[in-house]
Amino acid sequence: EAGVAQSPRYKIIEKRQSVAFWCNPISGHATLYWYQQILGQGPKLLIQFQNNGVVDDSQLPKDRFSAERLKGVDSTLKIQPAKLEDSAVYLCASSLFWGREDIQYFGAGTRLSVL
């Protein structure tokens, strides 16, 4: 079974530029998550989708971050414009459903450096 696919693996941009990350979840997984992981910290949930609807985006900085999951399959996370503090690893995870027995499966992540 193919895992969660993310691209690119690495991205270096200058502040105020735009960047987009792509995620393709495990086939059949209804729930998709985007996390931000700053070096030395645990992941911070940015947004959770259930199929193509948003369940929780309370920690997404909506003035600069946006995400979509068209057709309830793959997803794109965008940052526009980027700030220095956005330097982090952006992780995508998916799960079959959403509930007590839920297990999240993670992609390898995209490491973003903002200069």
When the beta carbons of 14 and 38 are compared against other proteins, the nearer one is 38
Q: How far is the CB of 112 from other proteins (least distance, A)?
A: 14
**CA nearest neighbour of 45 among 96, 95, 101:** 95
* Binding track over 9-48 against other proteins, x by CB under 8 A: -------------------------------xxxx-x--x
Site for other proteins in 46-105 (CB under 8 A): 48, 55-56, 91, 93, 98-105
When the beta carbons of 39 and 70 are compared against other proteins, the nearer one is 39
Binding-site residue total for other proteins (CB under 8 A)?
Answer: 24
Task: Please name the residues in contact with 9: beta carbons below 8 A apart, sequence gap of 6 or more.
Answer: 108, 109, 110, 111
| Residue 5 within binding range of other proteins, rule CB under 8 A | no
Two structure tokens written together for 45: 């949930």
DSSP E strand stretches across the chain: 5-7, 10-13, 19-24, 31-37, 44-50, 53-56, 65-68, 75-79, 88-95, 105-106, 110-114
Q: Which residues bind other proteins (CB under 8 A)?
A: 4, 6, 40-43, 45, 48, 55-56, 91, 93, 98-109
